[in-house]
Amino acid sequence: MKTMEIPAQRFLISEDALPALDAKHQTISSTISLLFFKALVAVKDVLHKYKKLVLVLPQQEHYPISILQGFLYFSIHIHKKCVIVDGLSEEQPAPGTLYITLSEADLADLIKTARCQGYTIGEELDVLSLGDTPIKRYLGISVITTGVNSLVEGVGFPDAYGCRQEWVREPFTIIRRDSF
């Protein structure tokens, strides 16, 4: 097995802690599965109304497997029917369902398909999308997001002479809007 040497002056952001690195490397890491799970738990009072939760996890794009793990932990925790699909061609929008979309393309497909079938997002079916954007705010799409920018600003970048290793838990936050 090949190992890769990471220069000490590199600033690393990782989805999980990297215990093999020593104190000369500055890293930011989090446990995404736990943070994603906790964000869903924080709104479980709303989730009881859904018959089914659907995570749209596109295989052709890279998303941390930890998101899938957090979703599965949550589905076991609340004893709710959960489905994971690669795209919306596998799953037709249905009333009483919450769709969690990770990509903008899947979100657009869901909105288009739901409208063509006469459904209103936020009434017959609901959407929770990863990452906040101006268009999602405009459309009233609820989002699950982290403050990656505040995470980087809060820790700061390493200087050329000294590094510190810090494990920061930047929580996922759910912003409720019309679609949820």
Residue pLDDT, tens place only, 44-95: 888 888 889 999 998 888 887 888 888 888 888 888 888 999 888 777 889 9
> What's the order of all strands across the beta sheet hosting 126-130?
81-85, 52-56, 97-101, 126-130, 142-145, 173-175
Task: Inform me whether the pLDDT recorded for 121 exceeds 50.
Answer: yes
3-state secondary structure of 42: helix
131 CB-near residues (< 8 Å, 6+ apart): 143, 145
Domain 23-175 in CATH 3.65.10.10? no
Instruction: Render pLDDT for 156-170 as a digit per residue (tens, 0 to 9).
Output: 444 444 555 454 556
Instruction: Render pLDDT for 19-34 as a digit per residue (tens, 0 to 9).
Output: 555 555 555 445 777 7
Q: What is the C-alpha end-to-end distance of the chain, expressed in Å?
A: 47
The arithmetic mean of pLDDT across residues 91-116, rounded, is 91
pTM over 0.85: no
Q: Note the pLDDT of residue 128.
A: 92
Among 2-11, 43-52, 91-100, the range scoring the smallest mean pLDDT is 2-11
Q: Note the pLDDT of residue 45.
A: 85
147 CB-near residues (< 8 Å, 6+ apart): 170, 173
Q: Note the pLDDT of residue 58.
A: 87
| Nearest alpha-carbon partner for 110 in 50, 100, 153, 30 | 100
Q: Note the pLDDT of residue 67.
A: 85
Mean pLDDT of the chain: 76
The arithmetic mean of pLDDT across residues 103-129, rounded, is 91
Q: Note the pLDDT of residue 69.
A: 85
3-state secondary structure of 45: helix
Residue 116 main-chain phi, psi, to 5 deg? -65, -30
